[in-house]
Structure 1
Amino acid sequence: MFLWNGRLVQEDEIQVSYLDRGYYFGDGIYEVFRIYDGKLFEKQAHLNRLFQSLREVRITLPWSEAELSAMVDSLAETFGKKDGILYLQITRGAAKRSHLLPESAEPSMLGYCEEVVRPVEQLKKGINTITLDDERWHKCHIKSLNLLANTLARQEAADAGAEEAILVRDGRVTECTASNVMIVKKGVIITHPNGPLILDGITKQVVERLAKLSGIPYRNAGFTLEELMDADEVFVTSTTKEVMPVTMINGIKVGSGIPGVITQLLQHGFEQKFKPAAAAELLG
């Protein structure tokens, strides 16, 4: 089933206008909810970020947050007890092509679920990454449809045999193409502070809470490229990557080249939040 402008429908009932501003201008936002065993994970945090993005781009929905929350629940129920994602995309709607915001356009909303397998082997072993210049716009805190710079950087990483690209702006690390990035140095977790240069990741928020509960120092202070390369541990966080160890950057091992102790502790804590059996799956 699909969620289309407030109704659950079959795929053949979806009709997107060629005048939709999402098509012309990327004029819209999106959100990706994680589903574990049929249950939405951190749903309210995702809804909070979605409505913040809507406010930033000045799109007003005809539904309240409570109504949209109920729609998301209904869509997730059609997915069954599986692991996956719920993708929700909202554009400003159809209007005559003009750079000015139309006064009468009605927002267009599409949602669907799909299965996503947890990257268990990568979570155990870590991933290879490269660093690239951050060439994105200066409003990365908005989860907008404008992802061309991200996709080009992600493809450059794939061409280099890497799983992700860590982005650097003016010598300081911001985030990755589709994840936040953190380092561990002398037992302290350090990451870029929230603001217009990064997306406030939901998994990033969970990790900060877990660090505080575990007594691990956590600093929203940012770090340089040099500090990244000298870190004891590096990991990235996202809805689909969870707490993913980085074991190589630009062909150079991170620390000992295996996931670090603090990274593994956070992985365990994260997994306990949604599926207690997942810790055994990862450690086994």
Structure 2
Amino acid sequence: MDRGFLFADGIYEVTAVLDGRLVDSASHLARFQRSAEALAIAFPWPVDAIEAMERELIARNGMEEGTVYLQITRGVAERDFLSEPDSPTFVAFTQPKRLIDNPAADTGIKVVSLPDIRWARRDIKSVMLLAQVLAKREAAARGAQEAWMIEDGFVTEGASSTAWIVTTDGTLVTRPNSRAILPGCTRAAVEALGLAEGLRIEERAFTLTEAQSAREAMVTSASTFVLPVVMIDDRPVGDGRPGPIAAKLRGLYIAAARNSAT
């Protein structure tokens, strides 16, 4: 009778682990709390207690590299749209994963474009991920590793990532935060690193056509860091190989993550 199971009435968060430490932990926990508040779901413990629990999970599992997954649902109650459980349900687990030595960083990934059929509050990291599941399955069936969602002719974001392009004049472009996209924690860190390096960055929407004619394209997420996109809908991006800006940002992010992980 958990409302997460019955209604997808819950939220989640994923944080990377490098060298046994949490990456961008403060940003992820802040977003986790914002998502809970947006759905009026009671946060089970203070943020610092949840972070301590994450570290305990990492230690108990002896995990050096991977992710920690957190989930809160409204809780258990008889099935009714207006039921109010006594307390939320909290679940957490670790998943080992190769984050640094990812072959896709050298080869790049392919993406396909699909209509964005998700709900309107994409800024909430909801467990309601059926549209993303369908997009990922369609991408895999077409030999791609990610799907870029299209709404009103513009790219919103990836099924599980933030979408970026590099224009012909070297400007890094990503869509501004709004209810249309998830405010990416890795996105924010990469943007700050890019600005510190003197890169020109624009927050604006871009079309699929612009993305296909871009110099470079890339995705960012907690579980992939920065990965170059070399093909969109069977059309090569740039020369069809990973570009230098994506490689530079990936290197900068990994170095910063290792330096600041807690």
The TM-score by the shorter chain falls in which range?
Answer: over 0.9
Other structure's SS at 2:103 match: helix
Shift of 1:274: 3.1
- Answer yes or no: is 1:273 the counterpart of 2:256: yes
Matches within 5 A, 1:122-271: 122-185=104-167, 186-271=169-254
Normalising by structure 2, we get a TM-score of 0.95
Letter in 1 for 2:98: V
- Whole-angstrom CA distance in 2 between matches of 1:263 and 1:62: 38
- Whole-angstrom CA distance in 1 between matches of 2:75 and 2:209: 44
- Tell me if the contact between 1:40 and 1:76 (Cα under 8 Å) persists in the aligned partners: no
- Whole-angstrom CA distance in 1 between matches of 2:81 and 2:103: 46
Q: Provide the aligned C-alpha RMSD in A.
A: 1.3
- Whole-angstrom CA distance in 1 between matches of 2:230 and 2:221: 17
Letter in 2 for 1:117: R
2:36 matched residue in structure 1: 54
Deviating beyond 3 angstroms after TM superposition, the runs of 4 or more aligned structure 1 residues are none
- Whole-angstrom CA distance in 2 between matches of 1:81 and 1:71: 14
- Whole-angstrom CA distance in 2 between matches of 1:127 and 1:78: 34
Shift of 1:75: 1.9
- Answer yes or no: is 1:115 the counterpart of 2:109: no
Unmatched runs of 5 consecutive residues or more in structure 2: none
1:72 matched residue in structure 2: 54
- Tell me if the contact between 2:17 and 2:66 (Cα under 8 Å) persists in the aligned partners: yes
**Residues 260-279 of structure 1: CA distance to partner in whole angstroms, max 9, x if unpaired?**
12111111101212348xxx
Q: Which moved more, 1:114-123 or 1:178-187?
A: 114-123
**Residues 80-131 of structure 1: CA distance to partner in whole angstroms, max 9, x if unpaired?**
25101111111110011111151x4310101111211125211011011111
- Tell me if the contact between 2:109 and 2:228 (Cα under 8 Å) persists in the aligned partners: yes
Unmatched runs of 5 consecutive residues or more in structure 1: 1-18, 277-284
- Whole-angstrom CA distance in 1 between matches of 2:63 and 2:106: 25
**Residues 147-196 of structure 1: CA distance to partner in whole angstroms, max 9, x if unpaired?**
00000011000000111111110101100100010000011111111011
Normalising by structure 1, we get a TM-score of 0.88
Other structure's SS at 2:194 match: helix
- Count of matched residue positions in the alignment of Structure 1 and Structure 2: 257
- Whole-angstrom CA distance in 2 between matches of 1:84 and 1:108: 24
Larger radius of gyration: 1
